[in-house]
Structure formats: structure tokens, C-alpha cells
Chains A and B, each alone.
Chain A
Amino acid sequence: MKKSCIAMLLAGGQGSRLYALTQNVAKPSVPFGGKYRIIDFPLSNCANSGIDTVGVLTQYRPLQLNSYIGTGQPWDLDATDGGVFILPPYLGAGEKGSWFTGTANAIYQNLAFIENYDPENVLILSGDHIYKMDYAKMLEEHIKQDAACTLAVLTVSLEEATRFGMLNLREDGFVGEFEEKPQHPKSDLASMGIYIFNWKKLREYLIADENDPNSSKDFGKNIIPKMIDAGERLWPYRFDGYWRDVGTITSLWDANMDMLSTTVINLYDPAWPINSRSPICPPQYIGEKAKVIHSIVTEGCDIEGHVENSVLSPSVRVEEDAKVIYSVVMPGAVIEKGAVVEYAIIGENTVVEAGAHVGAEPDGTAEWGVATCGPDIRIRGGAQVPAAAMIYTGEEV
């Protein structure tokens, strides 16, 4: 069945800079923004943009991600002539199997999947970005510009530019240069890691790149520069909405806090729903002595304590006299009587026992940071987990 555009979602990254939070799960399945997991954003964007075929490339600890995605039904991606496909690395007949060695290699190893759909274009997405984006508009521009590749770009400050892949444009508006994390950026256009390729072109470059022993098989480092060098038409698609890479503890915490403001990103827009696979829980119960201010709370939560400026996932329990302030609490976590959690991320099913204290207010020092407890931990009563701490599953605290 011929498709105009299918999506390939890169979800195999370990997310090593999330440390304890990705000790046992892949980054895209980390809980986010109350009801969601990170991967809900690109999957919902696909469904809302009318892209009904999505290959999800998994590699690192995919168990939870696989069961989370399932048939794709929560995102209305369970189409009969498309749908969501989990694509793990595999062994071919008579071949030596191999892991995905780079983002481009991951797509190369799934040439057969893409060719099933004989698409005109392929959309390449990351599984670790928080944003709402209409890929159909980007595709429209891509087709209009007759581009070999269209890259979604964002205007950033020159300080930020040193963290991104930066694009310098030619006079005709097409991309003339791609610089990965430049010391001295020449423009303010950052690549968001979202690409639409003409499939015939991409196929050529993937095969050529695979045979290049010096290539690291990466889109940003290899494929895009090679296309530019060959004089291909690479069009920048400007995006001015909310977009965050949540690859670090600080950025994950920041982006969660952003969800508290509908003026930053509006999750209540019925025209662009972000969907998720939800547990089956009764509504949240807010008790007699509870205080809940400027926070988002979701189904299954049981709140008897004080919650302020925080993001709570499903089935979180905050007991009497407990305080949760400027924190992110993931599914099933329990904050017992009198415990304090401030400026912290609490992993799934972790219990902060009565009297324990996690995190601290910012003190202006460079050492300060958000305290993080991974999933399935018991923080013992009386424990003091300092700012910027990182507690792994299995650690005794």
C-alpha cells in the first residue's frame, strides 16, 4: 500500500543523562506531565497530523515501552492498513546480527519495513521531545519546496546555540551548512532533530553511508552534511511553538513545570489531544485537610497533604501533613505522613516514608540541583536526601 508519508520514531536511546530514571526503562517511556509518558507527544502528533503508520525503533530496555505502545489503540493508531510497529534490532538469515549503531543505521536496518509502504516521504522523529506540532504542515512545505529533506528548525539564542546542531542558510533560503554544537554559531536556527526526507533520496544516502567505514551512521553528523555537500535541496521548516528536549534531569523537571501553565503549552486543546495509555482508576480524591495549589493531579491520586507547584502522575498518594512542592511525582509513588518532597523527581512506586525529606530549595550555589529518586525505592523515615542527589533503584537510603 503506497503512503505519502510514514513516520520512523527513534526510541532506542538509553537516555543515560536521566540516570536512575532510565536505569530500567527507555527514555521515551519515562512518565511526564501527569498523565503522559514522553513518547505520547510524538505519537499523538502523528495521529493528529494524519500519519497513520509509525515504526518505533527500540533497542534499550524496551519491555515497558513495548507493552505501553501495544496496538497503538490509545492514539488511534491501530489502523488496518498501517498502525504502530515496534521495530527492534533483528537477525537476518545467515547474517551476523547487530545492534543499531547510529540513528541512520537504525533506519537502514529497517529498509524492508519502509519499502512495504513504498512511501513518497519518511518523517524521522525522536522519542524524547515535548511539543505539539502539525507534521502535515511541514510535509506540505516539504512538497512545495521540492526538497530532498526538510528540517524542523527553531530560533534559539546564541548562548543556547552551542548545544544544538545549527543551520546556516544559503541566499535562496535552503540550508548551506550544518554545524553540530558550534563554538561560534553563525546563525540562530537550531535543528530540532525532526526531518522529512524524500524516501528515494534518503534510501540512496543511507546505503552509501552504510558502506562508508568512517561514518558514525548518524543523521546529524553524516547524512545531513553529505546531502548538503552533494548540493541537495534541504529546506528549513520554521517552528515557533513550545519544544523541549527532555534529555537531562534539569530539562525534564523544567518541562514538567511548564505543563502548569496553559500559556506555555495548552494541553486542554480538544483540537490537538495528547493521548496516553491510562490505567483504570477512580477519580482523584482530595481530602478534608488537603491543600492543592497551582498543580496538576490525575486519576487514582489520593491527596490528604499539601501539594504546590507540582506535577502528579496517576495513583500517587500524598498523606496528611506531607508536603510536595515544586516536584514531579511519578505513578504509584507514596509520600507518607509528614514527609517533605521539594524540588525533586520521585520515580514510579517509590515510597518516601514518614518524616523523610527529599530535596531542598535553590540556594543560589552551582552545586544545587533537583533531587532525583529512581523507581521502586524506599526512602526511610528520617532520611535527608540533599539537593542534586541521585538515588538509584536498589540503593538503601
Chain B
Amino acid sequence: MRNFHGIIFAYHAQPELRELTAARTAASLPFCGRYRLIDFPLSSLRNAGILNVGVIMQRDYQSLLDHIGSGKAWDMSRKTGGLRMLPPFGLPEYHTGDYNGTVEALNAVSTYIRDIEEEWVVLMLGNMAANIDLQAVIHQHLETGADATAICADHTPMGVHHRYILGEDGFVERIALYREGESEGVASLEGYIVRKDQLVDIMDRCRAENLFLFHRHAVNMFLQDGGRLGVYIHPGYANAIKTVEQYYKVSMDMLKTANRRQLFPADRPVRTKEHEEVSTYYGENAVIRNSLIADNCIIDGEVENCILFSGARVEAGAKLRDCIIMRGCVIGKDVELDCVISDKYASFGPGVKLTGNSKLPTVVPKGTKI
């Protein structure tokens, strides 16, 4: 869509993701057998025809770069415009590369933001598992004549989030910061449409006053200016992933067909980098129940309530229950795993037994050999 430019925040390190983000950002977390979390905002933008997109990165972005490549999978490898990866070295004052907040992250790439030619900017979170229909958001945004529109959930998502309380005119009256669980107002999914000039103006003022938090500082500044902030309610699944527990819960939610249909609707496909191209083989001894299984696996064991990424090998006699097994893991004979998240290329020798808890799944770091 012309006149709209996408910005994705993919810099969040999220220490609560522990070993899972040892060498990657939350946005490049492997998800649902074949995806990375950033595929959601990238695909939402692509499906709305927004192909000029900047991705703000900070540290440990190698896996992100590797995944996104030229942006071809999202049709964002263009002759004019297209995808731009924005590492933290745009301006001398941000050479340390640590962002204290989203506004600071925006200021670190302010030369890029200033050069945006489109009238509107769409801001999105890189670690939000939601398939947002941006075409509908934009339609509503233009129809209501709002100065900016916040994308919000039709439910209360997991974990700490911000909420918007609406006035009688349907626009946001005030923001309630850092809430958890049900309370007044609607939950923000941290996606926004905002006029580029207004964004730059607020960025500049925040910088002058040494303010760096998006919701506490920038949104409040916008509201105090009398800005009319509309709210778009996203009908469907949405959860940000900031902790191991959330990652596990959201992953397991995908085993429910209703949730999966909301995140992967046929008319708004989630696009991702293509991997090798071979089907999965189920052997004579395979027993599979309620599981999502990517291609290029060879499975001859028992798999129940699991998510298996591409290249997994599950040998006869192995039993997997409630596990997430990432790319290229080898599960040997008679291995028993329960509530385990196994990061890429881990291998389990014959007979290994490992048990976690759904509140605290055991994370086996990348490349571990047991």
C-alpha cells in the first residue's frame, strides 16, 4: 500500500527468554515448526501491500539477518524501496548499541525515519504472535480520521501489557501502563499507525528531554498534545513472547486448530524463508498424536502434543510428550522427553530421560549433546 511505511522493532533481547535468546533476539525465535516470530509482522505488512519496511535491530542479530536475507520471501527485495535492516550504528551518540527504550531505538535510526517519503508509518513489534490484518487497520484508521491508531487485542493477553481507556468519542482518553490480567480498557498489541511527521516531532522532543520510553513518554506526550488516538480491535489470537513460559504456552496453543486457523488463515498467509524441500517420513513404529510436524523429519517413535521443526529425527522407542523440538535435533532410541524445549541441533543419546514442567519447561541449549 502506497503512503504507508513499516517499522518493525526487532531489538528486544528479553532476558526472561533465557537460553533461547542466548544467540538471537526474541524476534528471531523459531516458532511453530518452521517460522520465526518476525514472520508475523513481516507477513502482515506484505499482505497489506506495504513493501517498504525498516527493521530495527540492536544485538545478537546474526540469526535475524540470516533468516530475513534480502527480504525476498516477503517480496521486499525491491529495486526501489523494499526492506532495510537497521543496525544500531546510525548515529555517533548511539555507538554503545544499548537502547533504553523504543523511542531511543527510533532516534538511533532517525536519519532513516526522517527520509521516509510515505505520509504514514506502521510500527510493529517483532516478537508478537499475531496475524494482524493491516488492510483492515488502515481502512479503519483513514475512515475515523484519527491522528494515530493503536492496534489492540479483543482479549487480555498473557503477561505485562499496556491498556487504553477510551473516552465517549471512541478515542483514547488515557493509557494505563504495565497491567497484568483483566482490568479496565483494552490491551495494546504495540502496533501503531502514526503520521511520520508527528512521529519525528515526538522523537525530537523526547530526545531533547532525554525521554526514551514509547508508552510512558511518547504516547503520553501525544495524548497531552490533544492527539486523537483511535483503537483498532484485532479479532483473533495475539500474544507477545517475552518469557520462556510464554513461548512454551503460545507454542502449545498452536496445537489447537482454532488458534492455528487464526494465526495462519488461508487468505493472509504467513510467509517465511524456505528451507530444504523433502517430506516427512513416518516409520512403521510411529505413533503421533496432536502434534505439529515440519517437513524433512524422519519419525519412528512416539510423539504426543509436540511441535517438531524441520530435520528432526525420532528413533524407534523414543517417547516425546509436550515438547518443542527445534531444527535438526536427533532423538535417539528409547529417549523419553517430557516438557522439554530442545534448541537447534541438540542430540539425545539412547535412553536419555529428561522431564520439565509446563510452568518451567526444561530448555536444552543449541547444539547440546546429551
Query: Which residues of A are in contact with B by a Cβ distance under 8 Å?
Result: 33-36, 74, 260, 262, 267-268, 270, 273-276, 278, 280-288, 290-299, 302, 307, 311-312
Contact = CB atoms under 8 A, between A and B. Distances in A.
B288 A278 contact: no
B32 A283 contact: yes
B276 interface: yes
B359 interface: no
B295 A299 contact: yes
A52 B281 CA distance: 31
B271 to A, nearest CB: 5
B271 A280 contact: yes
Range for the number of chain B residues in contact with chain A = 35 or more
Given A274-B278, A280-B270, A292-B282, A287 B290 contact: yes
B283 interface: yes
B318 to A, nearest CB: 16
Given A35-B277, A273-B276, A296-B279, A282 B290 contact: no
B292 A285 contact: yes
Contacts of B308: 283
Contacts of A34: 278-279
Q: Is the interface of A mostly helix, strand, loop or mixed?
A: loop
Contact of A282 (B260, B276, B284, B287): B260
B277 A284 contact: no
7 contacts: A33-B279, A273-B277, A280-B269, A282-B32, A282-B270, A285-B291, A296-B279
B143 interface: no
B33 interface: yes
A297 B280 contact: yes
Contact of B293 (A262, A286, A294): A286
Contacts of B269: 280-281
A280 B272 contact: yes
Interface of B: 32-34, 255, 257, 260, 264, 269-272, 274, 276-284, 286-296, 298, 303, 307-308
Contact of A286 (B264, B272, B283, B288): B288
A302 B284 CA distance: 20
Contact of A260 (B260, B272, B281, B289): B281
A293 B288 CA distance: 9
B321 to A, nearest CB: 14
Contacts of A278: 274, 277
A106 B267 CA distance: 41
Contacts of A299: 34, 294-295
Nearest to A290: B288
B41 to A, nearest CB: 16
A134 to B, nearest CB: 19
B33 A283 contact: yes
B274 A285 contact: no
Contact of B283 (A273, A287, A294): A294
Contacts of A297: 279-280, 282, 293
A349 to B, nearest CB: 13
Contacts of B32: 282-283
B278 A282 contact: no
B292 A294 contact: no
Contacts of A285: 255, 257, 260, 291-293
A284 B280 contact: yes
Given A270-B276, A299-B34, A283 B293 contact: yes
Contacts of B295: 35, 283-284, 298-299
